[in-house]
Structure 1
Amino acid sequence: MKLFQKIIALVIVFSINVLIAQEKLPEFRSIHQFEKEKYKDYQIPEKDQLKPFVGKPRPLQARTNPPSKEVFGYLPYWVYNTYPNLNYDLLTTIAYFGADVNASGNITNDHNWPAAGLIDMAHANGVRVVLTVILFNSSELATLLNSPTNRTNLVNNLLASVQSAGADGVSIDFEGIPSGQRSNLTAFMTELTDAFHSAIPGSFVTIFTPAVDWNSVFDYNALAQITDGLVIQGYDYHYGGSNFTGPNAPLIGTSLGIYNITWTVNDYLSKTGGNAEKLIQTVPFFGFDWPAVSNQKYAATTGSGTSVFYSAAYANAQTYGRIWDAETLTPWYVYQDGSQWHQGWYDDSLSIALKFQFFKDKNLKGTGIWALSYDGQRLELQGALADAFGSTAPPLRPAALNISNTGSGDVKVAVQAASGATSYEIYRSSDGVNFNDGTNYPSSANVLTTLSTDTTYFFRVSAVNGNGESNQTEMLGVRPDNNSADVLVVNGFDRTSGTTNTFDFIRQFAPSIVNAGYSFDACANEAIQEGIVSLENYPMVIWISGEEGTSDESFSNLEQSFVSAYLESGGRLFISGSEIGYDLIAQGSSADQTFYNNFLKTQYVRDQVSTHSASAVSDGIFDGMGNFFFDDGNHGTYNVDYPDGINPRTGAQLCLSYTGFTPSTFGGAGVQYSGTFGNGTETGRLVYLGFPFETIYPESVRDELMHRVLTFLSDGVVGIKPVAGTSVPEHFSLAQNYPNPFNPETTIAFDISGNESADVQLNIFNLRGQLVRKLVSEKLSPGQYEVRWNAQNSSGQPVASGVYLYQLRVGDVIQVRKMQLIR
């Protein structure tokens, strides 16, 4: 008896944790329903909106290299503005999600359909666009399906809408269909398919069908014969309302019940008589994060789970540690928020690749995706798609571009290996505008030699195979040096919607860095996330954030962890961007807010200060610069229409305000900080602007501002730099500083002779013999060097007028000279 009771209890546990739809469990909602409810009143913010498409979309173009299988991707209206960035090479159909309909067969909300810009771009790339038809109300579904008149009305309305848009078909998403509607649903799909095939030859008609048909309302066999395909739900096996944590889309595994993707596919094949060519099995580009009672897998939940886009789930797994569940072939991660455990279950490139291989083994028509763009700028899932179905497609665009000095003027240009690539094309420019025709390399990482240390170089990289060439990476640059670079420039500006992102803003940074006396390396922010490039290897980091905001994350959790560790170790960071505060504070999590307040040392005041002018604040690092301007859209970059209003938190100080706007009310424009960060004991420094540096004009103002930023970050030492194009000196010497007298900056030159590197120290003393500032303390090779000093002491405070001594020690040899500061 006890054994029987245990079996019954176990069955109950299983039944509430697998996908349970419609009447079985009223509180169950698929991810389609959950997100549709979440975004029911969503309007794309003005700042994220694309320019309206003008004209009529072009007809569907023929393509020579389509994917080997159907790749059907849902594009929900709340991420519509991402359509310019989709990888059309790996898609066959885009289902715009969608249009709401009612029991009478009328379209009640088309959510900005006809989506003309999407249709035009998709058609140009040979990709179909269909309209998803949405109805999730059981009683309305019963009324609609019971009435031939209402069904006919819906068919006619849908046909008119799709024809008017110049689109290619429809996909039905009816969820919550009451039992007893099996024949009516089949009749409706017959009427719909016949009407579309007749009126729009070649049109594509599909229906979204469940992983488990609890109410037996879907006649799989008939629907597969009638329509062009069944789009099968391949997620929500554990969903937001589950009582236990677990995989969203388990490929195998029965300890949580019999239901998994393998069971679902076999069920469909059995009920359709093996009609695999009509089965489109979906995969999730999302996961769920649940509060849980413990860190043990399959733990009881303590509240509802929230859906997490793949781009965020990947970053979380990198931060907290990816765990592989061999029982279900899915990844997950676990962490604590205070005392509350959380578990995140999602799918990554490995788990999805296993599913794709299973679909191919079963010879299914193809796969589907909920939802396009949920992977953000990450390319792992695109790589899995390409590997499975893209044998006739060009390779994916390479990711994680990183360019670094390797010494002696040589430069390494590297990317992550791109899926499908057989070689790589490196394009080079000395002005960031005019590029050569490219040089082909077999490897994804290449060292370029014979570059001049007097020239700044810019690079883009593409991947190549027999089917063509990928899109190029963003443009990044480097200033070659005989030593390692002191500055790393990180491009974190990936956003494309609602902004003008040319992915080449290194052009505005590079000259200003070089004019300040520094060489530099550069990388994409993905190279930081992947651990390819370490911030700790650089005394100073410049982070380009531009208008990076909520749609792309200004700082992911993973990036926050790297930046936090860098600052705690005494790193020096310059960051600028107009959406950082809005993203991390107004739209961010508690962790985002903590990072912003404690590591960016800033209080967010508002999303928009209505000006394009900033003013220097007295006693700040820009004191004396007066007013200057940033772009309103007419000065070569883009319109900064939402500059963040920000103010310093305790220990930081305001360095810029918005001209004519009181910081206490509107927030300021820039913050500077010198001190420790978090749990660190080393002094770090930070400069943060609430608008993008690259938009400042003219160039002379950018140069002056960058010079002051780097001077502050470097504690007043504007770099020790070897003098280019000189031979090894015959004698050790310390030159007279110039200018002299000076105010507030001077340059000190010295020569190191010999055949080997030597320990070098260059120090400033007052006339009482007290150390004012240590400028150089490192091992240097023989050569000629220059150091600039801006008359600040070791604490970053300006020193008084007077005579100072500067002492050079090379090994056991010492030389001293005098200089005079006149303020």
Structure 2
Amino acid sequence: MKFISFFLSLILIISFNNILSQDFSKKSIHQEQLEYYNSIGKNYSYYENLKPAIKSKEKKRSNCQLNKVVYGWHPYWVGSTYQNYEWDLLSHFSYFSYEVNPVDGSPLTTNGWNNSSAVDAALASGNTKVTLTVSLFSDHSTFFNSSSAPQNLISSLINLVQTRGAHGVNIDFEGLPSAYKQQFATFMQNLSNQMHASIPGSEVSTVLYAVDWNNVFDFTLMEPYVDQYIIMGYAYYYQGSSSTGPCDPLYQFGSTYNYTLSRTISDYLNKGCPKNKLILGLPYYGYQWPTSGNNIPSNTIGSGTAKTYKQIKNNVSGNYSQNNHFYDQDSYTDIFKFNDNGFKQCFISLDDGFRKRLEHVNTTGIGGIGIWALGYDDGYNNLWNSINDYLTNCYSDSCVNEIHDFGGPSKNYYNNEDYIWTIAPDFTWNIDVDFTFFDLELDYDYLYIYDGPNVFSPQINGSPFTGTNSPGSFTTTSGSVTFRFYSDMATTNPGFLATYNCNLSPVSSSFNNDLNISIYPNPVTNNLKIDFNSSKKKLINSDLIILNSFGKVVKKKTIENNKSIIINVEDLDSGYYFLSFNLNSKQVLPFVKY
């Protein structure tokens, strides 16, 4: 029965793929917007001379360092918005784009690559690698059947990157037919080898499609040559969709179409993409459609229009108000529905949804995120703040959260999944875990639970769990717990759902006596002063750490040779906080922020 189910599923998947793979008339957001802005007739310098938005009050940050890739595309038409980029939180800046002439590989245009002030600023940042995106959306046969075009393109790109003092290229070849699978992989090999040899330390990446309908990407041929593979994690529902839905569903939206960011990640890992090289591109935009009715979802009665994060936040029309707002708890998507000369629905991932996607990146252990497109949030810091919180060494697991399988909180998980993740909130004594639902395919799919920071820690009693044999409720013996979820190649079940709460390290009554530290004022509104008194020598080069009530690190400062330090906590929300030191992590001192 197991194998019958598998082959029936395979037939259905192949049939569905054949239906959808024929729709190569669908344009990606990259192609759609490039063609639109090219048609306007304004060049890069026009947009760079526009005044950027006035940025909202910048959050004061701790000295956090990126530990994931943040790969942002800068289309030439976003112009002066680069003046609001937070370079410390941007590992890669990719200028869009070198438009390939398929006949000979030469540029139809580079859209100002050699002279762009945005490229100048990125190069001057000292933190961000600068690459040139290379776009080819049609005439693949002309390009790949040419005896000279691929090599001409490689030589041209090396010259442009060298001349600019940049760091590499990003290949954006879209709509590739399966017939060119081998040629594309060979091109990526040759480009990578020559670029790396000519420019030591350079990087070559390629985009991946949200769904690889034609099985174009062969990682057995592209590895280990290519440096990053960036999923265009958008247009699951697109401008031409017959029904409204999320552009980038984290998990399944509705009950029919079941392609999601989570599934895409699993599919590419199963195809052989190295986990540390896989980057999840996320949209700073959504789609709005005219609809036949007011129900969510509804059938569309016209083409969708892209709406940027900035447009939704600015809300000039008044349509994106709280009264019109809904939130889908399965796909983690914001939805606005309203009547403006007819019914309209807009689907977009705003702040909470974006943070859930970053959380998923951390849980799956992939290499980081991509952004289409930089500047689409111009004037707002919210998404930068999220990147700082989740993709840097300041990240800490929440002290209270939900755990579920990779199909989301209420839908089935996917086949061929094998993930390991650890929950270890800062300054946690132990963790209470409570499974409220559990249903895996019996004796084929398993959840392993380890009482500690990795899979070498002892398993809890009863692990691994399968079928409906739930782990129930348990408390770890330390401040971390590790999970491994495995599903085989066929048959999926609803999965599992749990919550956890961490118990913070107990406050030691001897804290002040041992270290002779005083803090004031307490409660505090603006500046918190810490006097080290006689403990200064013990604490030099330690990190002073402030945690919120969920155990998350919100500030960190290295203690130098000072008798006291002052920390501005004005940007913290009102509430209870704890001050501690990495020297003595099981002792904390509470204070209140008004």
Identify the TM-score tier after normalising by the shorter chain.
Answer: 0.5 to 0.7
Q: What is the aligned partner in structure 1 of residue 569 from structure 2? A: 442
Tell me which amino acid in the other structure corresponds to 2:328: D
What is the DSSP-based 3-state SS (H/G/I as helix, E as strand, rest coil) of the residue aligned with 2:339? strand
Tell me which amino acid in the other structure corresponds to 2:570: S
* Residue 93 (structure 1) shift: 0.3
* Residue 87 (structure 1) shift: 0.9
Change (3 A) 1:15 1:240: farther
> How many pairs were matched up?
388
Tell me which amino acid in the other structure corresponds to 2:309: Y
Residue 337 (1) aligns with residue 375 (2): no
* Residue 116 (structure 1) shift: 4.5
CA distance in 2, matches of 1:285, 1:19: 29
What is the DSSP-based 3-state SS (H/G/I as helix, E as strand, rest coil) of the residue aligned with 1:130? strand
CA distance in 2, matches of 1:101, 1:281: 25
Q: What is the aligned partner in structure 1 of residue 360 from structure 2? A: 358
* Residue 171 (structure 1) shift: 0.4
What is the DSSP-based 3-state SS (H/G/I as helix, E as strand, rest coil) of the residue aligned with 2:224? helix
Query: Is the contact made by 1:142 and 1:178 (CA closer than 8 Å) also made in structure 2?
Result: no
Query: Is the contact made by 1:49 and 1:81 (CA closer than 8 Å) also made in structure 2?
Result: yes
Q: What is the aligned partner in structure 2 of residue 106 from structure 1? A: 106
Query: Is the contact made by 2:47 and 2:78 (CA closer than 8 Å) also made in structure 1?
Result: no
* Residue 375 (structure 1) shift: 0.8
Residue deviations 1:642-663, cap 9 Å, x none?
Answer: xxxxxxxxxxxxxxxxxxxxxx
What is the DSSP-based 3-state SS (H/G/I as helix, E as strand, rest coil) of the residue aligned with 1:189? helix
Residue 131 (1) aligns with residue 129 (2): no
Change (3 A) 1:256 1:87: farther
Tell me which amino acid in the other structure corresponds to 2:330: E
Change (3 A) 1:446 1:33: closer
Residue deviations 1:443-501, cap 9 Å, x none?
Answer: 33899xxxxxxxxxxxxxxxxxx9xxxxxxxxxxxxxxxxxxxxxxxxxxxxxxxxxxx
Tell me which amino acid in the other structure corresponds to 1:388: Y
Tell me which amino acid in the other structure corresponds to 1:442: V
Tell me which amino acid in the other structure corresponds to 2:179: G
Q: What is the aligned partner in structure 2 of residue 375 from structure 1? A: 377
Q: What is the aligned partner in structure 1 of residue 485 from structure 2? A: none
* Residue 46 (structure 1) shift: 7.5
Query: Is the contact made by 1:332 and 1:345 (CA closer than 8 Å) also made in structure 2?
Result: yes
Q: What is the aligned partner in structure 1 of residue 501 from structure 2? A: none
CA distance in 1, matches of 2:392, 2:326: 29
Query: Is the contact made by 1:311 and 1:375 (CA closer than 8 Å) also made in structure 2?
Result: yes
Q: What is the aligned partner in structure 1 of residue 265 from structure 2? A: 265
RMSD of the TM alignment (CA)?
3.5
* Residue 413 (structure 1) shift: 9.3
CA distance in 1, matches of 2:64, 2:146: 44
CA distance in 1, matches of 2:221, 2:320: 42
CA distance in 2, matches of 1:50, 1:154: 30
Query: Is the contact made by 2:84 and 2:378 (CA closer than 8 Å) also made in structure 1?
Result: no
Residue 197 (1) aligns with residue 324 (2): no
Q: What is the aligned partner in structure 2 of residue 26 from structure 1? A: 24
* Residue 115 (structure 1) shift: 4.4
CA distance in 2, matches of 1:29, 1:337: 27
* Residue 277 (structure 1) shift: 1.1
Query: Is the contact made by 1:75 and 1:94 (CA closer than 8 Å) also made in structure 2?
Result: yes
What is the DSSP-based 3-state SS (H/G/I as helix, E as strand, rest coil) of the residue aligned with 2:369? strand
* Residue 27 (structure 1) shift: 3.0
* Residue 357 (structure 1) shift: 1.3
What is the DSSP-based 3-state SS (H/G/I as helix, E as strand, rest coil) of the residue aligned with 1:33? helix
* Residue 66 (structure 1) shift: 3.8
Q: What is the aligned partner in structure 1 of residue 325 from structure 2? A: 322
Tell me which amino acid in the other structure corresponds to 1:317: Y
Tell me which amino acid in the other structure corresponds to 2:142: T
Residue deviations 1:618-651, cap 9 Å, x none?
Answer: xxxxxxxxxxxxxxxxxxxxxxxxxxxxxxxxxx
Tell me which amino acid in the other structure corresponds to 1:256: T
Query: Is the contact made by 2:287 and 2:305 (CA closer than 8 Å) also made in structure 1?
Result: yes
Tell me which amino acid in the other structure corresponds to 1:106: S
Note the 1:770-809 alignment, pairs <5 A.
none
Query: Is the contact made by 2:281 and 2:371 (CA closer than 8 Å) also made in structure 1?
Result: yes
Note the 1:371-770 alignment, pairs <5 A.
371-391=373-393, 422=555, 441-444=568-571
Residue 159 (1) aligns with residue 161 (2): no
What is the DSSP-based 3-state SS (H/G/I as helix, E as strand, rest coil) of the residue aligned with 2:178? coil
CA distance in 2, matches of 1:176, 1:246: 22
Change (3 A) 1:247 1:19: farther
* Residue 294 (structure 1) shift: 1.2
Change (3 A) 1:15 1:300: farther
Tell me which amino acid in the other structure corresponds to 1:40: N
Structure 1: runs of 5 or more not aligned: 1-6, 52-63, 394-411, 425-437, 448-465, 467-823
Note the 1:181-192 alignment, pairs <5 A.
181-192=180-191
Q: What is the aligned partner in structure 1 of residue 285 from structure 2? A: 286
Q: What is the aligned partner in structure 1 of residue 243 from structure 2? A: 244
Tell me which amino acid in the other structure corresponds to 1:131: L
* Residue 321 (structure 1) shift: 2.9
Query: Is the contact made by 1:224 and 1:278 (CA closer than 8 Å) also made in structure 2?
Result: no
CA distance in 2, matches of 1:337, 1:132: 38
* Residue 81 (structure 1) shift: 1.9
CA distance in 2, matches of 1:224, 1:35: 31
CA distance in 2, matches of 1:334, 1:357: 27
Higher Rg of the two aligned structures: 1
* Residue 381 (structure 1) shift: 1.4
Change (3 A) 1:423 1:151: closer
Query: Is the contact made by 1:178 and 1:217 (CA closer than 8 Å) also made in structure 2?
Result: yes
CA distance in 2, matches of 1:38, 1:239: 16
* Residue 147 (structure 1) shift: 2.8
Tell me which amino acid in the other structure corresponds to 2:354: I
Change (3 A) 1:302 1:210: same
Residue deviations 1:564-587, cap 9 Å, x none?
Answer: xxxxxxxxxxxxxxxxxxxxxxxx
Query: Is the contact made by 1:19 and 1:238 (CA closer than 8 Å) also made in structure 2?
Result: no
Tell me which amino acid in the other structure corresponds to 1:324: Y
Change (3 A) 1:224 1:305: farther
What is the DSSP-based 3-state SS (H/G/I as helix, E as strand, rest coil) of the residue aligned with 2:335? strand
What is the DSSP-based 3-state SS (H/G/I as helix, E as strand, rest coil) of the residue aligned with 1:225? coil
Change (3 A) 1:39 1:116: closer
CA distance in 2, matches of 1:231, 1:342: 32
Tell me which amino acid in the other structure corresponds to 2:349: D
Q: What is the aligned partner in structure 1 of residue 534 from structure 2? A: none
Tell me which amino acid in the other structure corresponds to 2:326: I
CA distance in 1, matches of 2:231, 2:98: 20
Q: What is the aligned partner in structure 1 of residue 219 from structure 2? A: 220
CA distance in 2, matches of 1:295, 1:158: 50
* Residue 329 (structure 1) shift: 1.6
CA distance in 2, matches of 1:172, 1:19: 27
What is the DSSP-based 3-state SS (H/G/I as helix, E as strand, rest coil) of the residue aligned with 1:170? strand
Change (3 A) 1:277 1:150: same
Tell me which amino acid in the other structure corresponds to 1:342: K
* Residue 336 (structure 1) shift: 0.7
Residue deviations 1:404-435, cap 9 Å, x none?
Answer: xxxxxxxx999xxx9985499xxxxxxxxxxx
CA distance in 2, matches of 1:230, 1:161: 22
Q: What is the aligned partner in structure 2 of residue 513 from structure 1? A: none
Query: Is the contact made by 2:64 and 2:388 (CA closer than 8 Å) also made in structure 1?
Result: no
Change (3 A) 1:279 1:134: same
Note the 1:11-160 alignment, pairs <5 A.
24-41=22-39, 42-43=41-42, 49-50=48-49, 66-103=65-102, 104-125=104-125, 126-137=127-138, 140-160=139-159
Query: Is the contact made by 2:351 and 2:382 (CA closer than 8 Å) also made in structure 1?
Result: yes
Please, what TM-score do these two structures have when normalized by structure 1?
Answer: 0.44
CA distance in 2, matches of 1:46, 1:199: 30
* Residue 45 (structure 1) shift: 8.8
Tell me which amino acid in the other structure corresponds to 2:22: K
Query: Is the contact made by 1:224 and 1:279 (CA closer than 8 Å) also made in structure 2?
Result: no
Percent identity of paired positions between Structure 1 and Structure 2: 31
What is the DSSP-based 3-state SS (H/G/I as helix, E as strand, rest coil) of the residue aligned with 1:131? strand
* Residue 346 (structure 1) shift: 0.4
CA distance in 2, matches of 1:45, 1:195: 29
* Residue 363 (structure 1) shift: 1.1
